[in-house]
Amino acid sequence: MLPRKLAIALAFCMAGALAIAEGLYLAPSLYFWTKSHEAEAIERVRFAWYQASDPGSFLSIDEKSRFARRMINDGLITGGVLYDSAGDPLAVFGERPLLDLSLARLSGVKVQHSPNTDAFDVHLSPSETGLAHDLILRLPNAPVEAATAAQMREFGLSVLMIAALTAVLFLIACWMVIIQPLKRINAALRGAVRNPDRADSYVLATHRRDEIGQIATSLDLLLASFASLFHNELATLKGAHDGFAFGIIQFGEDQVPVAANPAALRLFSVDDIEGLRRVNMNCASLIGAKRSEPGNLLEVLDGARVPALLGLHVDAGMVTALGYPTRARSAEDEPESTFIALVPIDELMRDARKALGEAKRADVRLRLQSAELQEMRRQMEACLCLLEAASAGDPSEKAEAVLPDRILNNWYSDAARDGLVSGKLEHGLLPRVHGRPSAIRKILRQALLLVYAHTDMERPFLKVDAEPLGDGTMEIIIRDVSADRIGTGEKRKKSIDPTLPRAAMLQTLLANDGTLVGLETQAGSTTLRITMPMQEGGAAGTSEDEADAAFAQMDGGDAALRKSA
């Protein structure tokens, strides 16, 4: 509880306690005060009758009645009855009392209050008045009540004056003994929170031995420990804060910069915090937002997702940065300070773009080197074909009818897997070729490699067609159709020497009664035409499964080549 609230609470508690005490005192006192003033009124009336009686002579009934009427006029009584010694009324004046003489004599009732009337009846005996007769008089209540009210008012005013003086003295004592020390404790705590590096300068150094003194002593120990912690451990964090590569700015409640690290000062091209305060903070815009004109840095970050990609318009030009705000709140959950971290990413983006470009170039180089390696493997295959053709091959192998589809598809699928060609080989219905299976395989594979070596596209599309010529031969046409499939794509000069697959194909082709019709390269497309014997009469020839068995030995050799490559 704050000291001001504590003082108000103590004042209300004291006022309430005094009001309760006064009420407890007035409740019984009111009865005794009323009885006391009734006795005074009765004594005044009795003394008036006593003074009016003459011991040397007896007053007549008329004199007594005139005296009673004079008392009625003076307001001492409102009426009465004069009785004889037998108890019979001798005279009645004014308002007749309700008290009966016989009741007063027998029961000893001296005073009787009449219900529903503003008066009370009193019996005065001859011994009290000095008269020879009994009197029963009716006295008004108004003077008694007025006297009681006046006494109550005087008592209340005196009690209030005493209470007010006591409350003032109590509050002064509370202010000096309790409230002022609590305010000092509160000020010390707030000062230490705002200036943690100087927390030990707020030590209270009190010598009191009560509870407040114990609290102040404990607080002194806490402040000393807090200052030591800041200087010994948090100073390292402050040094790291000053050494951060990104900027950190602290804004106060009025949205004015109160602190900044060196990186933030460099970002805005200023030397100190005073220079930063002079910078126009309407310099930030969200990159990618519809609104392009700059706005206030705090307002832009307040309505954006964090971290936000910002464009900062500073003296050095446009700076791209990531902005992240953080708010520090007080105990009342009201914002006190706002910290904004600004991370410039222009250099990071340049480095990232450079690294991405290098990665792409490395990927291209790797892909080209892989393609060249596969091309060298296939060029080695052409060399092996030349060596086998020079040795005349296997003389025991017989000529058979062979389906060329499997040979062509196998070469093309391997080349597509190795990244040399694209898609699948396009071909229609190809008739059976007649000849030695190993020679047909070499011819077709070298023919595909020769067309591939002459293409300009990095990964070309190839197509195979066959046309019977009517003289027992057919013309096989292998084309580069990349221009019709991908248009102007990436181009690359092949690392294969076309003379090797051409020579290997020609030697094997001539040995198998085939001819090279022509090799044309024009308009970015390559076309190879060769002729080979067909199966006569369309008789059933060797199936693909039988051809696979015949080529198994040569496939094993190719596998060894791929493994070595």
Complete DSSP assignment for 53-66:
--TTSPPPHHHHHH
For the entire predicted model, the pTM comes to 0.45
Could you tell me if 401 and 535 are in contact, meaning their C-beta atoms sit under 8 angstroms apart? Answer: yes
Residue 243 has pLDDT above 80, yes or no: no
- Range list of H helices, 94-141: 101-107, 126-129
pLDDT band at 397 (very low <50, low <70, confident <90, very high): confident
- Average the pLDDT over 278-285 and give the result: 84
What pLDDT was estimated at residue 161?
84
Chain segment 10-46, per-residue pLDDT in tens: 767 777 777 777 677 666 777 777 778 888 888 888 7
Query: Which tops the pLDDT comparison, 379 or 245?
Result: 379
Query: Which tops the pLDDT comparison, 392 or 52?
Result: 52
Of the listed ranges 131-145, 316-330, 428-442, 547-561, the least confidently predicted one is 547-561
pLDDT band at 244 (very low <50, low <70, confident <90, very high): confident
What pLDDT was estimated at residue 137?
84
Highest averaged pLDDT of the listed ranges 53-67, 124-138, 255-269: 255-269
Residue 465 has pLDDT above 90, yes or no: yes
Angstrom distance (rounded) from CA 475 to CA 477:
6
pLDDT band at 1 (very low <50, low <70, confident <90, very high): very low
| Residue tagged 């020497």 (tokens) | 497
Angstrom distance (rounded) from CA 136 to CA 95:
11
What pLDDT was estimated at residue 97?
84
What pLDDT was estimated at residue 395?
67
Residue 227 has pLDDT above 80, yes or no: no
Beta bridge partners, 199, equal none
Residue 548 has pLDDT above 70, yes or no: no
Residue 2 has pLDDT above 50, yes or no: no
Taking the mean position of all CA atoms in its chain, how far away is CA 202?
34
User: Per DSSP, which regions of 355-461 are E strands?
Assistant: 400-402, 426-427, 433-435
Residue 375 has pLDDT above 70, yes or no: yes
What pLDDT was estimated at residue 240?
67
- Average the pLDDT over 229-254 and give the result: 73
